[in-house]
Structure 1
Amino acid sequence: MRLSHDEEENNLSLSKFESMLKTNKVFFFDSEEFEDIILHYMDTGRMNLAKKALKLALDQHPKSTGLKLVQVELLVFEDKLDIAEKLLNDLYAIEPHNEEIYIQRANIFSKRDQHDKAIASLETALEYTDDYADVYSMIGMEYLFMDNLEKAKSYFIKCLDEDIEDYSALYNVVYCFDFLDQNNEAIAYLESFIDKNPYCEVAWHQLGRQFYAVKNYEKSVWAFDYATLIDENFLGAYLEKAKGLEKLKRYQEAIDCYNITMELDDATSFALLRVGKCYERLGNIEQALKYYHKTVHEDPLLDKGWIAITDFYIRQKNYQKALYYVNKAIGIDGDNSLYWKRFAVINQSLDNYEEAELGYRKSFENGDINLDTFILWANMLQVLGEYETAIEILLQSLDLFPNEYEIEYRLAGLYYLVGDTKKGKFHLVNGLQLNFKNHSIIEDYFPSVWNKKTIQNLIAKHKI
């Protein structure tokens, strides 16, 4: 790729400056050359070189306003705001119409969290600048700092009206739309932007993301297609396109897309995992398992990879292998309630009731308050003969799920099992009134209670 004339000049200046440092010879640079050299070192984080260049620059051009403004920028970067402000005031007295003075003053206000003052200073800069896009973008950022997303969005749009190729402003506009949950408005804006700049792969990519967010997966894939046609190495667009194809159940096409990402860059555990899922949905069990194992080989600490293998074996009803892999996932993320729930279900399928009870308990302790968790946990405690603990769990669940017949019937059965007929009758009546049809829960889970004549009479009384 050919360098522009300005880039070639800048590279020559940098080479000349670095040669001077190595040889201790003093070369002459004009003030603009020095500005470019200093700003280059600041942009690349080489602050010591930036300071050396600034010192030499001011020695050669002690009256240069441009260099003094670069000095202000360096001082602001180092949080020496009071010194920077004093220098700016001196410069203002000399050049009150220099927009850079107002821009640097805005940077000082921004660093002090005085964003309103920063915006006022930038609005003054607009009166003197030729580079409206840059100033509009800076105002947009100040509004972002103030969490005024609507105002920020309007200024980033103004920036793009001035400079349609400012992609950082485009990303910021879309960020504002996303934050404000304005997906449809974002789509309308991006479509109008693309009308003006049809070969902007970033805009097509962002349009695809917005269509995906509103669940229009066909249009999402269409937009990502354009992004990849414009830039055939656009890794992110291929990934997002693959996700859209999965939603459309076009699994082989999704696999092809994920494979392209792996050709463009090293295989990621995410892509390998998704390919495995796609193969499983296509019924290609052998390939699915192969890619799941590739996933955990690529990233042994990716718990989602181990869980994918766990779920694979659960679906195959190979619970012994599923138990091995769920333990791997729990070893990585022992605070995940969903992993403990799987651990419980697998152990229950293997008749390991104590381990199953532990799994449901751990799932609850890590935030799982779903009704079925309470029910299954109580079932395991009942199998283990821990009726009182099961009652405690179900009473606790009633606070979260009042008037839930599944809980009432189970409480009734358990109270009868521990000989508390009064409470047993109370909860049985509750269950019958809430949902008579499902009184078979007593028959299924508490056959000894079901066979009691008093129970049958009570049920008969509530029969509609």
Structure 2
Amino acid sequence: MSEHFEHHRAVLDTVRRFERMLNSNEPVFFDLEDFENIIDHYVTSTQFDKALQACEAALGQYPFSTELLIDRAQVMAMRGDYQEAERQINHVATLDPTNADVAVTRGIICTQRGDFAQAVEFFQAGLEKEPEREDIHFNLGLAYQSWQKFKSAAKHYKQSLRLQPDNETGVQELLHCLAISDRLDEHEDFFKRFTDDDPYSAIAWYNLGQYWYRREQYDKAAEAFDYAVVISADFYDAHHWLADTFVCQEKYREAIAEFEQSYPPNEPTDEALCNIGECYEKLREWEPARKFYHKAIELNPQMDEAWFGQGVILQEQGRWFESIHFFRKAVELYGDSGEYWSALGMAENHVGNVVSALEAFEKATEVAPEEVQAWVNWSAILYEQGHFGEAADLVRHAVELHPLESHFHYMLCAYLLADGRLREAYAELETALSLNYEQHSLLFDYFPELRQQPALQRLIDQFRP
């Protein structure tokens, strides 16, 4: 196990050295294995442009390497340049027609193109030549998963993990396939077998932790991740997942301690700093929360989560004017978040910028129509402005999205009453009372003037249990 982590650290060191040489325009010289590791690192982290850059640098040094030509073809396929990928692999096939990677690369091209049946045929051909190749099983899993054949995908992901348990992407994809096919529960023994076979394998405990985490059994997940970090104290990803597990359990101080160990000494990541800031935010310790969000932004000015977190802290402190700046920056960096737009809308409305608030809520519902609260908040502003019909039409979206949520039916009833649409209002009230009679008090909490309507009270009394 220690060899695995030493290799991982060595690869990261090599990648950093490669990037430093590129940034300083120094000549790039590495042995072939180092280049293979650099390319694999970028592919695994889906940094395909950098992977291609590494391929070109490597081929400049080793122009006749079949392995590098295959790598380049696969990277081109992953970037969507299928014509160049096919040209490259056809050239390799003339040089080395029996190479299993020719079929594998053609399979990758077909998977990327959406021709899953043909991709499976190519991967199976590769397995006939090299049946113990974990990467071919992994690619078969990806092809079947993209084809929405989740049981077949899981079968090959499992075989891939039997051959190489430290493929974290394989674990995640397997768990996704098991979850979507409702087969997580029956695979407990599969994950436990790795720890039974090797109780001192940090990877085995880490994978078991991932399994329990996906099943939302956080006590067991925390125990498994804890074993992983006890066995290998510098298993940074395991520290990160243990911290995430503590967050799910609302154990924020324990989470902070683990996030602080989720990166090499003196090399914090923006993600870890932002996560620590969020934990302090949950603890309502505003100053350390602000400090860590600020550190994350210093490390990565494009980190929208940290900008948003700063805004949330100010909002919680009632500093609405100041929060607007940070929410605006968050939506500027990531405009597809309904949560960000809704927060901006709330802040704008709070300081009296009604037009800006309406625009923000409209944008929130545009990018995330399934998030109910934006529709509700938008409708509340329109109601306050006297636009009762528009408010009713908007909150109806919330009703359509959550037809069994009585809260929204009560709100819709009130808006319809204000708009004079009595028949529709009473129909909504009957639905709301049928769903949850006790919640009818919300109607008067939000709209106390409705207590003066005797007909409304008589209808409510009819549904009294």
Q: How does 1:74-89 map to 2 (within 5 A)?
A: 79=87
Show the counterpart of 2:204. 203
Q: How does 1:122-137 map to 2 (within 5 A)?
A: 125=129, 133-134=132-133
Show the counterpart of 1:152. 156
| 2:430 aligned with 1:433 | yes
| 2:377 aligned with 1:380 | no
Letter in 1 for 2:423: F
Q: Quick one: distance in 1 between partners of 2:253 and 2:222? A: 14
Q: How does 1:184-195 map to 2 (within 5 A)?
A: 184-195=185-196
Q: Quick one: distance in 2 between partners of 1:75 and 1:291? A: 40
State the TM-score, normalized to the length of structure 2.
0.65
Quote how far apart the aligned CAs of 1:146 are.
4.5
CA 274–115 in structure 1, closer or farther in 2 if over 3 Å, else same: closer
Q: How does 1:412-431 map to 2 (within 5 A)?
A: 412-415=417-420, 424-431=421-428
SS in 2 for 1:330: helix
Quote how far apart the aligned CAs of 1:186 are.
4.9
> For each residue in 1:203-246, what CA deviation from the matched residue of structure 2 results, as whole angstroms up to 9, or x when unmatched?
22222221211122222222222222332222111111111222
| 2:423 aligned with 1:411 | no
Q: Does the aligned pair in 1 maintain the 2:202–2:231 contact within 8 Å? A: yes
Show the counterpart of 2:59. 47
CA 102–270 in structure 1, closer or farther in 2 if over 3 Å, else same: closer
SS in 2 for 1:334: coil
Q: Does the aligned pair in 2 maintain the 1:137–1:169 contact within 8 Å? A: no
CA 189–171 in structure 1, closer or farther in 2 if over 3 Å, else same: farther
Q: Does the aligned pair in 2 maintain the 1:431–1:439 contact within 8 Å? A: no
Q: Extract unaligned runs of 5+ from structure 2.
A: 4-30, 39-54, 75-84, 111-117, 146-151
Q: What is the Cα-based RMSD across aligned positions, in Å?
A: 4.3
CA 184–49 in structure 1, closer or farther in 2 if over 3 Å, else same: same
Q: Does the aligned pair in 1 maintain the 2:69–2:88 contact within 8 Å? A: no
CA 304–425 in structure 1, closer or farther in 2 if over 3 Å, else same: same
Q: Does the aligned pair in 2 maintain the 1:310–1:326 contact within 8 Å? A: yes
Show the counterpart of 1:294. 295
Q: How does 1:443-458 map to 2 (within 5 A)?
A: 445=447, 447=449, 456=454
SS in 2 for 1:215: coil
CA 450–359 in structure 1, closer or farther in 2 if over 3 Å, else same: farther
Letter in 2 for 1:358: E
Q: Quick one: distance in 2 between partners of 1:440 and 1:157? A: 53
Letter in 1 for 2:153: L
Q: Extract unaligned runs of 5+ from structure 1.
A: 4-36, 55-68, 90-100, 127-131, 161-165, 416-423
Q: Quick one: distance in 2 between partners of 1:178 and 1:262? A: 26
Q: Does the aligned pair in 1 maintain the 2:379–2:391 contact within 8 Å? A: yes
Show the counterpart of 1:268. 269
Show the counterpart of 1:336. 337
Q: Does the aligned pair in 2 maintain the 1:432–1:459 contact within 8 Å? A: no
Letter in 1 for 2:419: L
CA 186–236 in structure 1, closer or farther in 2 if over 3 Å, else same: farther
Quote how far apart the aligned CAs of 1:192 are.
1.6
Q: How does 1:93-112 map to 2 (within 5 A)?
A: 101=98, 103=100, 106-107=103-104, 110=107
Show the counterpart of 1:66. none
Q: How does 1:292-331 map to 2 (within 5 A)?
A: 292-331=293-332
CA 199–409 in structure 1, closer or farther in 2 if over 3 Å, else same: same
The structure with more radius of gyration: 1
Show the counterpart of 2:227. 226
Q: Does the aligned pair in 2 maintain the 1:270–1:295 contact within 8 Å? A: yes
Quote how far apart the aligned CAs of 1:71 are.
12
SS in 2 for 1:324: helix
Q: Quick one: distance in 2 between partners of 1:222 and 1:194? A: 13
Quote how far apart the aligned CAs of 1:407 are.
0.9
Show the counterpart of 1:363. 364
SS in 2 for 1:260: coil
Q: Quick one: distance in 2 between partners of 1:70 and 1:393? A: 58
Q: Does the aligned pair in 2 maintain the 1:72–1:104 contact within 8 Å? A: no
Runs of 4+ off more than 6 Å: 37-44, 69-78, 86-89, 395-398
Quote how far apart the aligned CAs of 1:308 are.
1.3
Q: Quick one: distance in 2 between partners of 1:310 and 1:219? A: 35
CA 387–208 in structure 1, closer or farther in 2 if over 3 Å, else same: closer
CA 432–222 in structure 1, closer or farther in 2 if over 3 Å, else same: closer
CA 425–446 in structure 1, closer or farther in 2 if over 3 Å, else same: farther
Q: Does the aligned pair in 1 maintain the 2:238–2:262 contact within 8 Å? A: no
Q: Does the aligned pair in 2 maintain the 1:38–1:51 contact within 8 Å? A: no
Q: Quick one: distance in 1 between partners of 2:67 and 2:457? A: 88
CA 110–430 in structure 1, closer or farther in 2 if over 3 Å, else same: closer
SS in 1 for 2:419: helix
CA 450–358 in structure 1, closer or farther in 2 if over 3 Å, else same: farther
Quote how far apart the aligned CAs of 1:316 are.
2.1
CA 351–124 in structure 1, closer or farther in 2 if over 3 Å, else same: closer
Q: Quick one: distance in 2 between partners of 1:74 and 1:425? A: 69
Q: Quick one: distance in 1 between partners of 2:429 and 2:136? A: 67
Percent identity among equivalent residues? Answer: 19
Q: Quick one: distance in 1 between partners of 2:247 and 2:99? A: 51
